[in-house]
Chain A
Amino acid sequence: MGSGMARFVVRRLVSMALVLFAVSAIVFAIFNVIPGGDPAVRMAGKIPTETQVEAIREEWGFDEPVYVQYAKTMEKLFSGDLISYYTQLNVTDEILNGAPRTFALAIGASIVWMAFAIALGLYGAIRQGAMSDRLLNALALVGISMPVFWLGAMLSHYLGTELGLFPSGGYVEFLDSPSEWLWHLVLPWFTLAVLFIGIYSRVLRADVIETMGEDYVRAARAKGLSERRVMVRHVLRNSLIPIVTLWGLDFGAVLGGGAILTEQVFSLQGVGQYAADAIGQSDVPAVMGVVMYGAFFIVVFNALVDIAYAALDPRIRLEGRAGK
């Protein structure tokens, strides 16, 4: 089995590299090749001067063949000297500044949403059809339907500004003060988690109910296992597979700056907020940098999900191998 898993991981990493290359080509095409006026003018921001545009055209090689343009763009993206013509700040530095904040948001929120989703999903499945299950169903729908910006603003206003239980926004470095760091992140974590708790708990509930009807669960009971062990080791273990898939994709998206609204509402100054600002200012180099950064995490977590999937479900590992 060990070599089967290793081969699977290698195969998945190779395909990840190919996808990343394709993403880079698409990013390049969207920003530099697709017709829509002079790319140098777009790059320069809202009120460019003629000399600026000329300098940009020269620097990015916009008057040279496409493959040279691509090479130059990639060189800029990966060498770390991509400069925003709007703020005059280094895009890579800005993203790297925002990343720890976005990571803190994503990791904490995903722990919150997974913990709640597993607890509520299991509870709903075990109490299937009971009042409490129907109530949870309704709450999940509310959670899914609630706009993040509204929920965030309400929490920030009432629990933050009015009651003073939590800071209403901002971010404190973990190393400066771990307790303040935690305190500032509680509301963003929950704001971001609510939607996912709603979705995940419903998905898990359905999977648990389906798994509880499997023959191997009945067989596990017939072995004389405790109900707890049956639920955790056989039912939950099998029901987690789809949830882990979802989790990897959503976690990757949030890491990649996808939690734009939450970051904005709580002024976390993470990558998501940077992306939103860049888009608002038509700051093309910054947007380009953020898109590559986001694509990277989404692709990486896609690959990790597949690997986790294979680790969780031994049947996947054999896929793609000729025979046994």
Chain B
Amino acid sequence: MSDRNLLEVRDLSVTFATEEGVFQAVDDVDLDVGPGEVLAVVGESGSGKSVTALTLMGLSRGPNASISGSASFEGVDLVSAGERELRRIRGERIAMVFQDPMGSLDPVHRIGDQIVEQIRAHRETPRGEARRHAIELLDAVGIDEAASRADAYPHQFSGGMRQRAMIAMALSLEPSLLIADEPTTALDVTVQAQIVDLLRDLNRSRGLAMLLITHDIGLVAEIADRVAVMYAGRVVEQGTLDEVFYDPQHPYTWGLLGSLTRIDRPRPERLPQIPGAPPSLVDPPQGCHFRPRCPHEFERCPRVPGLEARLPDAPGHLDRCWLDPAEKRERRPVGEGDS
């Protein structure tokens, strides 16, 4: 792996054996996260972004799951690592924050104890010291009266406070990577903004790298350095925030960006939407997965396009579309020309 990247995912595929057949949840995914960088993985529900995140944590393993490819993180391959090794990494080097902060805290244990538990699972910190550290962390993520709040149970916290507590817990062992799976989706809009501020602050002040899984394009724009767009199990486009937002190469990305309301434009009668529905991952279309919904389909599309740099002046901007870049610029309804 190049020493530039903290996390380097290559050819990651995850399939699940289900009663309907083999379900290809993640298909040949490549992702890179540099130290201190925020990579946003965007895509709709079922695009494989959460399964990708869980796989990196070793949490999608199971008798029905089959995982291939590699994910290098600090010299360890997360795909082939044994359970012991993974357990050392989980929570200590890579921490995870989940979508639903209510469901992610154990209802029968005090908040502080749950943080202490994580610290002591990895380090032989005396209980009192771990507790002091837990209180400091709660304070650092903006929970008032952290010392007394540490004794509260999750149901005594509001949604935003629970997510702050989850973030405090994630920070407890100073991981180098935070995986945040839809961290703001379950929260009220005003609270969402606070959590985004907190995450951005942690990224800047602590240099904490993040893999941010979301379908919230607004959140991406606020916090991400780079963006990977997922569709039906595959990464269809990856690049810097500016590259993907202002020079999108894949027709799915065009649709995704085109479905946003914009404050600087007259509000359309109806929000544009991509016709059709995502394909079944048990029996996906041959070639490009977006082909059945794509207005620009042509004879090359039944072959799977690789995730490649197709623009001579942007070697880090990758996409999976056979169209000629010049043609894309002409056809796309969004991007630099109209911004």
Chain A contacts to B: CB under 8 angstroms:
1, 214-216, 218-227, 229, 233-234, 237-238, 312-315, 318, 324
Task: Looking at the assembled complex, report how far the CB atom of A202 sits from the nearest CB atom of chain B, in whole angstroms.
Answer: 23
Contact B108 A224 (CB under 8 A): no
A229 to B109, CA, bound (A): 14
Contact B105 A224 (CB under 8 A): no
Which residues of chain B come closer than 8 Å to A1, judged between CB atoms?
Answer: 151, 153
Q: Which of B88, B100, B106, B166 contacts A224 (CB 8 A)?
A: B88
Contact A225 B108 (CB under 8 A): no
Contact B87 A314 (CB under 8 A): no
Contact A215 B100 (CB under 8 A): yes
A236 to B201, CA, bound (A): 37
Proximity string of chain B (89-112) to chain A, C-beta cutoff 8 Å, 1 when within and 0 when not: 111100110101001111111000
Residue from B54, B83, B87 having most chain A Cβ neighbours under 10 A: B87
Task: Looking at the assembled complex, report how far the CB atom of A174 sits from the nearest CB atom of chain B, in whole angstroms.
Answer: 36
B223 contacts chain A at the CB level, 8 A cutoff? no
A92 to B335, CA, bound (A): 90
Task: Looking at the assembled complex, report how far the CB atom of B19 sits from the nearest CB atom of chain A, in whole angstroms.
Answer: 13
Contact A220 B90 (CB under 8 A): no
Contact A216 B121 (CB under 8 A): no
Task: Looking at the assembled complex, report how far the CB atom of B37 sits from the nearest CB atom of chain A, in whole angstroms.
Answer: 21
Which residues of chain B come closer than 8 Å to A312, judged between CB atoms?
Answer: 108
Contact B90 A224 (CB under 8 A): yes
- In the A-B complex, the 6 residue pairs with the smallest Cβ-Cβ separation, listed nearest first, are A224-B91, A215-B103, A224-B90, A219-B104, A223-B91, A314-B153
B130 contacts chain A at the CB level, 8 A cutoff? no
Chain A, Cβ-Cβ closest to B91: A224
Residue from A223, A229, A233, A324 having most chain B Cβ neighbours under 10 A: A223
Contact B155 A315 (CB under 8 A): yes
B57 contacts chain A at the CB level, 8 A cutoff? yes
Contact A223 B90 (CB under 8 A): yes
A233 to B92, CA, bound (A): 20
Contact A214 B153 (CB under 8 A): no
Contact A216 B91 (CB under 8 A): no
A223 to B91, CA, bound (A): 4
Contact B151 A221 (CB under 8 A): no
Which residues of chain A come closer than 8 Å to B95, judged between CB atoms?
Answer: 222
Which residues of chain A come closer than 8 Å to B88, judged between CB atoms?
Answer: 224
Contact A223 B106 (CB under 8 A): no
- 25 cross-chain CB contacts under 8 A: A215-B103, A216-B105, A216-B106, A216-B107, A218-B54, A219-B166, A221-B57, A222-B57, A222-B96, A223-B91, A223-B118, A223-B121, A224-B90, A224-B121, A224-B122, A225-B91, A233-B109, A233-B117, A237-B106, A237-B108, A237-B109, A238-B108, A314-B107, A314-B108, A315-B107
A214 to B88, CA, bound (A): 22
A238 to B154, CA, bound (A): 14
Q: Which of A221, A233, A234 contacts B59 (CB 8 A)?
A: A221
Contact B122 A219 (CB under 8 A): no
Contact A313 B107 (CB under 8 A): yes
Contact B87 A222 (CB under 8 A): no
Decide yes or no: A315 and B153 within 8 Å by CB, A222-B95, A223-B117 being known contacts. Answer: yes
Contact A224 B89 (CB under 8 A): yes
B169 contacts chain A at the CB level, 8 A cutoff? yes
Contact A238 B107 (CB under 8 A): yes
Q: Which of A221, A237, A315 contacts B90 (CB 8 A)?
A: A221
Decide yes or no: A229 and B59 within 8 Å by CB, A216-B106, A222-B95 being known contacts. Answer: no
A318 to B152, CA, bound (A): 12
Q: Which of B87, B98, B121, B156 contacts A219 (CB 8 A)?
A: B98
Chain B, Cβ-Cβ closest to A238: B108
Task: Looking at the assembled complex, report how far the CB atom of A54 sits from the nearest CB atom of chain B, in whole angstroms.
Answer: 62
A215 to B182, CA, bound (A): 14
Which residues of chain A come closer than 8 Å to B117, judged between CB atoms?
Answer: 223, 225, 229, 233
Contact A224 B87 (CB under 8 A): yes
Contact B153 A226 (CB under 8 A): no
Contact A215 B108 (CB under 8 A): no
Residue from A214, A224, A315 having most chain B Cβ neighbours under 10 A: A224
Residue from B106, B151, B155 having most chain A Cβ neighbours under 10 A: B106
Chain B, Cβ-Cβ closest to A221: B59
Chain A, Cβ-Cβ closest to B152: A1
A49 to B298, CA, bound (A): 109
Q: Which of B83, B91, B155, B156 contacts A222 (CB 8 A)?
A: B91
Which residues of chain B come closer than 8 Å to A313, judged between CB atoms?
Answer: 107-108
Q: Which of B57, B87, B92, B105 contacts A226 (CB 8 A)?
A: B87
Chain A, Cβ-Cβ closest to B96: A222
Which residues of chain A come closer than 8 Å to B153, judged between CB atoms?
Answer: 1, 314-315
A227 to B82, CA, bound (A): 13
Task: Looking at the assembled complex, report how far the CB atom of A275 sits from the nearest CB atom of chain B, in whole angstroms.
Answer: 39
Decide yes or no: A216 and B59 within 8 Å by CB, A223-B90, A223-B169, A224-B122 being known contacts. Answer: no
Contact B106 A238 (CB under 8 A): yes
A234 to B121, CA, bound (A): 14
Which residues of chain A come closer than 8 Å to B83, judged between CB atoms?
Answer: 227
A223 to B105, CA, bound (A): 11
Task: Looking at the assembled complex, report how far the CB atom of A230 sits from the nearest CB atom of chain B, in whole angstroms.
Answer: 10
